[in-house]
Structure 1
Amino acid sequence: MILVTGATGTVGREVVRRLPPDGPVRILTRRPDRAGDVADHIEVAVGDYGETRSLERALRGVRRVFLVTAGVGGDDDERFLRAARAADVRLIVKLSAAAVTNPGADDAITRWQRRCEALLRASGTEWTLLRPRAFMSNTLAWAPLIASGRPVSALYGTSLNSCVDPRDIADVAVRTLTEEGHEGRAYTLTGPEAVSAAQQTACLAELLGRPVPFEELDPARARAAYLRRYPEHVAEALLLGAEQQRDGAKARVEQTVREVTGRPARSYAEWAADHLRMFGSGVP
């Protein structure tokens, strides 16, 4: 049995779609109404990282797990790993972040991800770490702006990030969950090239066949925008991460997607073309 957490999220949903239908799969979600129609071989377990009994039920009979946590600074990983050990889970594939490999990154999000990785490595359970760069799908946040003709804005908009298609992350995750030989490995996942927000905007304009204006955010406006959406420690971490990107720390391209799956990573242009309808309608 494979358990997929975060199964209604950006990557988890793609993992569920790609797992072979001949093996039992269970998804863990707090919101079963968001799971949509699931295939007959997929079980839905309702639970929460903070509810030990729900974790025990979800982990019963499970041998491999795709683990996604999002509570920056919290102890969801610790609680889940404790329940997984008790359930005799054999392998945990953990969604982490590429920033953990950067010695210059010392923001709250990266410190938390490093701590979560350390907990997993010390847990006694076999592990595989997936460390993606920014998701290409993050640009779906621009969809309402583009649909209404308003400008897209970004901090350090010409800085480069080797962002990755969530579908590529999912393809690698499925390989690690269904094949042998990935235990004890840490995979940094990127797209085939580093691109800037300004370049992404130009790509969308070309695909849409109409102008998509872009404007540069200054740090003060960016901070205010982050604080409207996130707690202060997360907002500050995002600002520090943007500075790291400005300084070139997120531009390196890896060939890991090709090495694991046997095909090249998808480009931003490919991802954008496949999701163009959302930008035209304004519905991310």
Structure 2
Amino acid sequence: MAWPERELHPGRSARDFYGAEIRWHRKNAGGMSLAALAQIVCFSKGHLSRIEAGESKVPEGLSEKLDVAFGTDGSFLRLYELASREDFPDKYKRFMELAEQAIGHEAYETTVPGLLQTADFASAVLQAGEPFAAEEEIDDWLTKRLRRQDRLSRQPSPCRYWFILDEGAIRRPVGGPAVMVVQLTRLLHASRLQHVTIQILPFSAGAHSEIGGSLTLLTLPDRAVVAYEEGSRSGHLFEETDEVLHRQALYDLLRAQALSPRDSEAMISAALEGTTDALPRRDARPVAEE
């Protein structure tokens, strides 16, 4: 059974328009499938599907191949000049723009926040989240994620950060013990910065309002607050006062359920010690065969 094609929104952004043009030309080329086009342009079907839906940045080299495949005489190459300027899909773009301006950033996360991730940890998370993505896509996402971390050390007035992390963020061995040792060390260093607070929401807290998702509150320079909720595959930005106040109240409950910053640091230290113990010992000797 064929899966229904995703709805496109060509008027939303240059990236979305580029993707809609791919579909339009496919349909007018005898109903060409994505799989057939993927073979022609030497890109994976999954990668092309995300580009067509406006979810992935248009990579270099694709436009020329599309112009040849559809006989469009350079129109995709011209569109690329606009679409390539958009680093993020439209649904994340405004949130990212507001995050750059924020003077206060509060977030509950089920994993280590992107702003605090090491390169190896971030790479492992991205690969797990999009297991069918092309290597160049992962590299592109990783570069952008690490670049955004400059906000943590922005001077002279850095943003005030408050992170509440599910205990699973420090227990789940993402990337293996060696990667986790470096990542947990990074968390400890971040927790000691004056403008960063980290709390752990322990498993013992039980069920809560954000289980299975994440919640971010951004305080803007004019003191207005916006909220952003995200699941594994979608997110929504809330700017209406009532909606934001509701989510601020939910975040306050999470803050009350979480361990204190001092106890959270102790839990991270204990997790680091346990993970370090799990590393292969360099001086370990193989057991002699009988």
Q: Which is helix-richer, 1 or 2?
A: 2
TM-score (norm 1): 0.29
Does 1 or 2 have the higher relative contact order (CA < 8 Å, sep 6+)?
1
TM-score (norm 2): 0.28
Based on CA coordinates, which of the two structures has the bigger radius of gyration?
2
